[in-house]
Amino acid sequence: MGENPIGWRGGFCVEVSPVPNTLVIFGASGDLTHRKLIPALFSLYRKKLFHEKSRIIGCARTLMDDDAFREKTRQTLKVFCNGKCDEKKLEEFLKKVFYVSGPYDDTSTYKRISERIEGIEEEIACPNAGRVYYLSTPVNLYGTIVECLGEAGLVTENYEGLPWRNVIIEKPFGHDLESSKKLDRELRLILQERQIYRIDHYLGKETVQNILMMRFANRIFEPIWNNHYIENVQITVAESIGVEHRAGYYEQAGLLRDMFQNHVLQMLALVAMEAPPSFEANKVRDEKVKLLSSIRPFNKDRIFEDIVRAQYAPGIIDGREVPGYRQEEGINPESMIETYAAARLFIDNWRWQGVPFYLRSGKRMKKRLSEIVITFKRVPHSIFIPIRAQDLAPNVLVLNVQPEEGLALTIQAKQPGPKLCMGGLTLDFKYDEVFKGEKPEAYERLLLDCMLGDQTLFIRSDNIENAWSLLTPVLDAWQNSSDEKSAGQLYKYSSGSWGPEEADDLMYRDGYSWRNPD
């Protein structure tokens, strides 16, 4: 690896060899497919993690043939490679790409997909290839597509679950608790839970995956990873952009549904869960569910005490004026939708009893940032008189998820000079500085895992149900916008800030403050 300041010594790197898969992408003409999925699959191919006999079939309502879709894919990948694609590899990859057009609710569409799959698998002499169906479509089409796949016999497995027929769905997994249960019932009429891959791209990020390895592959952390040594935990997921082209979606969803129900709570679960007996999909997911079920419910009569909602107002970001949420195109000028939420949670179990977890997420904030901040308790007594124990800053561990993945640990250390001269020293690790070269994107990891039949980084139905059970009472209270007595009012914050003052008060009253990097 060459010299580096961390002293990386190598280690155990195990990647399971790819197996043949036929990947069918519904919504293949859309933004997600060409912004994330196609580049991720090409990247896997370049790394020899996409089997030579694997094939990709795009499906959408847009009329195209194979050649037109391949040309669209070529242009996508030229942008992805910044014009520096290996032309030979690009042409090889494009030969693996096909296209079927048709309405998603028309049985003839699925007949053509079935015929195309059979023709491809016969040509490559691989009748037992796994199949992955990626639903890159609006959520209201999930039930229709899965039902049609079932009627066409395209998701039928044998009694051992082989060859696998996996279906990937994107968030949102419902709109609230009842709608998520309804969606699950629709899917489970056709599919087994083992076939459903609910994707949260945050779980594919290197630092998020590293939470488990940092905690459970290093003995130094486990003895202090509890309420005896940890003072509080902060989780921040901040975006500097506004609603952009998602006005229609955002007016229906809001921040709590869009970010808390999945990304934020998933990171909380990884930080706070107990050690699973093994790194096996359901063992890991069992512990995440136990953790989420241990979160203390919000007091429905005094929700405002533990959760603050707000909406961005006009402000300045990167030196330019930006509009407020209500001034955005397509937004109701009297909208009560939140673009920011901050919450204080408690986990009622032995490990975390009494430790506050502070969660926040928002749009149009000062900078793009996702991080987990673990603040440890101060030393109980100072031997360095006249320096008092309360004068010594606590140790802080920061797990950076984006934009720079890595971690940083701040400790107290002697500084050059007088005999009593100490201050904070930060041990800072950044993936890009230590591990040179191209870092895998989250969708690469998740697509590969699905093609290997590994559900570890995907979300199980009971996980979804626990998350919605926690948040649906809050959403119900907010929906009744006149009920400020229990729900609290909708505050404003300037675009380009770190959120409303009221969110600061959520921590100040406990004697803490948010970590707001410059």
Strand ranges for 6-114 from DSSP E = 21-26, 55-60, 97-101
| Cα Rg, the chain, nearest whole Å | 25
In whole angstroms, give the CA distance from residue 396 to residue 165: 45
CA distances from 323 to 146, 485, 491 (A): 40, 29, 16
Q: Are strands 315-317 and 320-322 parallel, antiparallel or unpaired?
A: antiparallel
In degrees, rounded to 5, the angle at the alpha carbon of residue 498 between the alpha carbons of residues 495 and 500 is: 80
Query: Which stretch of DSSP H or E encloses residue 178?
Result: helix 177-188
Region of 48 please: left (phi>0), alpha (psi -120 to 50) or beta. Answer: left
Q: Quick one: which of 203, 184, 221 has its CA closest to 265?
A: 203
Calculated CA dihedral for residues 413, 416, 421, 426, nearest 10 degrees: -30
Mention every residue, 6+ apart, whose C-beta is less than 8 A from residue 163. 128, 129, 130, 131, 157
Q: Quick one: which of 241, 279, 182 has its CA closest to 366?
A: 241
In whole angstroms, give the CA distance from residue 92 to residue 81: 15
Q: Quick one: which of 123, 126, 116, 70 has its CA closest to 93?
A: 70
Q: In which residue are the tokens 């079935």 written?
A: 114
In whole angstroms, give the CA distance from residue 410 to residue 394: 8
Q: How is the beta sheet containing 396-402 ordered, strand by strand?
A: 422-430, 406-414, 396-402, 369-376, 230-238, 356-362, 340-346, 307-313, 490-494
In whole angstroms, give the CA distance from residue 19 to residue 51: 6
The strand pairing partners of 99, in sequence order, are 58
Active-site residue list: 263
Strand ranges for 161-282 from DSSP E = 165-170, 196-199, 230-238
3-state SS class at 347: strand
Mention every residue, 6+ apart, whose C-beta is less than 8 A from residue 256. 309, 338, 341, 471, 474, 475, 478
Omega cis (within 30) before 386? yes
